Structure 1
Amino acid sequence: MGSFATVCVIILIIVLWGYIDFHIGKYIHRKRWKTREYPIRDGKLELITNGSDLYQAYFSDLQAATSTIHILFYIVKNDRFSQAFFEALKKQAIKGVKVRLLLDWFGGRSVPKQWIKEARAVGIHIAYCHKPRLPFLMFSLQQRNHRKITIIDGQVGYLGGYNIGKEYIDLDPELSPWRDYHVRLIGEAVADLEQEFLMDWERATGDAFQIIQPSPSRFDMEHRLYPSEGVDVENMLIQLIEKAKTSLVIGTPYFIPPRRLFSAIEAAMDRGVNVTVLVPNKSDHPLVKEASFRYLRRILAKDGIVYQFENGFFHAKVIVIDGKICDIGTANFDYRSILLNHEINCFIYERAFIAEVEAALAEDIRHSTRLKLENLYSLPLGARWKEGISYIIKGLL
């Protein structure tokens, strides 16, 4: 056997091993996973759509902490803003606040080891989750903890699309301004959010801690948390879409829905539901924009509406159904978030809050251009090549 043939055989064996490893690992994960459901809670929700506004409130809450700070971010970068984040945590740890920081192994890979060492030296507990591991190395390498959550003193919670890095506060010239949706919450659901953090923390470290129960809430904005780990979230979203009677609005940076979920959208359109999709025109990934074209053509062909956000980068994850149900969280509208990653979303039933979300979407649409079907049938050769390649690997984008 020649050297070229040997190399081809080795590549074939690696690809076959990766395929088997990934799918068996995913199958076993699905069989072991148990649904976790939280009830509808009362509380106060605040929508934040600007990074500067978010982190002004966020750092203020961190500075006010007296007992515990629990944080899980998918991404923390190696830049001045990320360093300021670590400095804020160190100051609180020195004051005696118990700080636990959980980072995704892949998303937090650029955090300098020196920062970790200095943080641990002042008492901050830091762990990495979702490290690649045997026996299913390929599956564990692809499964990420994509959650972005914070719980302060068991009383205040945060979740949504923002991570820690300079682009999130509009300091990256390529992606600025950054448009995202994040929720600050007070009330009963903070304990549910902390319960999810506890489970992720315990799986990463083997250690547990006592959850602080929130103070009784004076607010009555109904909502509930829905955690997912690549299992059942597609069914949940399908059930929501099947309830739509008049309108369905989807805002997402990556519109690459799994087959059954997209079929539910098409079925909604067939029964007269008006579907609007808002995606960014600018991309932060070389293939995800082109991966959406196959689906957007079908939306447009059924008289749906597609907007491309032009004022920076749109990263929000939001769904609004009939103006009555709103979903904001960490999950993108793509294969990876829905069928693979660990995510957490918040389903909101408070009409006043939903009206605020609709106003934010209307503002984003004002900064968008409407995509036409003919635009997607006259793509340059490079875009057509990207679309073909992205379709093949859509499950891993």
Structure 2
Amino acid sequence: MNLSVSFQTQADATSKRFSNEDLSAHFDKFKKVIESEKIGFFQLSEKTEHLDSARAMFEKHKDKTHFVQVGIGGSALGPQTLIDALKSNNKVKFSFMDNTDAEYISQLLSEIEEPKKSLFYVVSKSGGTAETIANFSIARNFLRDNGIKKDQLKDHFVFCTDPKNGQLKEYAQANGYSCLQVPNDIGGRFSVFSHVGLLPALFAGVQIEELYEGANEFKSALLNPDLSENILMQTGAQLMCLFEDRGVNQTVLMPYSSRLKTLSHWFVQLWGESLGKIDSSGTNVGLTPIPAYGATDQHSQMQLFMEGPSDKAIFLLEVKNKAVDFKLDSGLEMDSARKLENFSLNQLIGAQFNGTLKALQDQKKNVIKMSIERNDAKHMGSMILFFESLTALMGEYLGIDAFNQPGVELGKKYAYEYLKNLE
């Protein structure tokens, strides 16, 4: 299996959440969700035509040496996760226009050394996302200011949007711009396996076929009919039991890998935007996500995790075998260096992971240990599908729709009203 999970929590093993009846009921609900015509994330990795069309687009623009993702939320975090974790092509530089902060955008544009070798990937499912359209406008002006003629702009932009509708789709068709699709049944935060993530992954040298392969291989574990051994159902039952019985309403994802740091931020958006809702009884519910990464946050948030309130479920993620290592026997004449000289850097971070795991256990904290053999495309495919599936399942446990975001839409409405008042 590409991903293993074990539990050291304070969940009550006699809770109804671990009964076969309750597990079966929520397993059926999960299967109903992923079989819905409106929700396509679970089947996305089986649609190899997306691989083909992404690769064809890459071949068309592969001479570009600076790739700029123009998007926000899932339209940026998913691709950035793949690039930060798996990038092997150092010939291409990546930037993310994922905010409406003028100082940040100015700095980003100033770092594009060869505008004529740049490609801007404008991603918006609706085709009208304010932040994305604003940055598209800025990118367009930037290219014109750097000597690129209006009729050449189409060589520096690729759009990714709804296959049929929306302003971005209409603009692309009217002006001859290249366009990829965000499927109708895929929301932004569930879009990593779509063209949203595939095109930037190709520029980063990621083996996208292995990404799909890892997800597809893991489906047998997620759909295991033996619910006592089903990795997804057991994790969901643990989280719901802790939430109901012990008030554990925060979820930490802490990979012991700098390359997986962005995975935690992707998880925050997926978990927070999906599960923070008002349920059918009018109650505000949700599991607050917290990003962290080891060993760095052992000198930051770990003090809170260790001795603060026991209101957190902590996913600790280890990468067992890393691609490189460093020996620590430098001959440095310091007592602290001598303690380390017989070991390697990977042994050190492994000891830090296991030491933290034991210390949290001693403090009776709620820890879910996750392990992958290595950080590669196959294991990443498994992890992404696991967290997407767990998010969908927790939506069923909480009695909310994990696939909408009415709170976000309300904020957009007020933002436009504010702008109108400035006119």
TM-score bracket relative to the smaller structure: 0.3 to 0.5
Which one has the bigger strand percentage? 1
Which has the larger Rg? 2
Q: TM-score, normalised by structure 2?
A: 0.32
Query: Which gives a bigger RCO, structure 1 or 2 (Cα 8 Å, sep 6+)?
Result: 2
Q: TM-score, normalised by structure 1?
A: 0.34
Which one has the bigger helix percentage? 2
